[in-house]
Amino acid sequence: MPALAAPLPIIRPITDLRTQLNDVCTQASEAQEPIVLTKNGVASFVLMDSNAYETAERRNRIYLALREAEIEEQYRPTPLTAEESDANMREIFALWGLDYAPNGN
């Protein structure tokens, strides 16, 4: 989702953790988005469902692997064949514990 189309963040006062903990946890699980907890009107903490956190971390690892491949390619003296490129991407993704499927295969 583009940054400009991102939904508004969920904002709650930190006291809701004490007074409405079950509601806050349910909202975090259902929304699958971070909840910004405020103290005196200022953002202090972020609460996130563990599945949403793992998804975000996986997305970040994939982004970093792709960015690393782009940087390597930029400084590579000779071009790679598609097979060599796929083999390199598989190796990078394997380091991160992810499966690599070129062209969505």
Domain for residue 54, yes or no? no
What is the C-alpha to C-alpha distance for residues 11 and 69, in angstroms, rounded to an integer?
37
Tens digit of each residue's pLDDT (9 = 90 or more) over 8-57: 889 999 999 999 999 999 999 999 999 999 999 999 999 999 999 999 99
Residue 67 makes CB contacts below 8 A (sequence gap 6+) with none
pTM here is 0.60
| The pLDDT of residue 82 | 87
Number of domains making up the chain:
2
Exposed (0-12), middle (13-18) or buried (19+): which is 85, by Cβ within 10 Å? middle
CATH of the domain at 27: 3.40.1620
What is the C-alpha to C-alpha distance for residues 19 and 84, in angstroms, rounded to an integer?
57
Tens digit of each residue's pLDDT (9 = 90 or more) over 70-102: 888 888 777 778 888 888 888 888 888 888 777
Domain for residue 13, yes or no? yes
Cβ count near 28 (within 10 Å): 21
- Residue 79 lies in domain: 60-99
64 and 36 in one domain?
no
Q: Strand, helix or coil at 44?
A: strand
Cβ(95)–Cβ(62) under 8 Å? no
Domain for residue 35, yes or no? yes
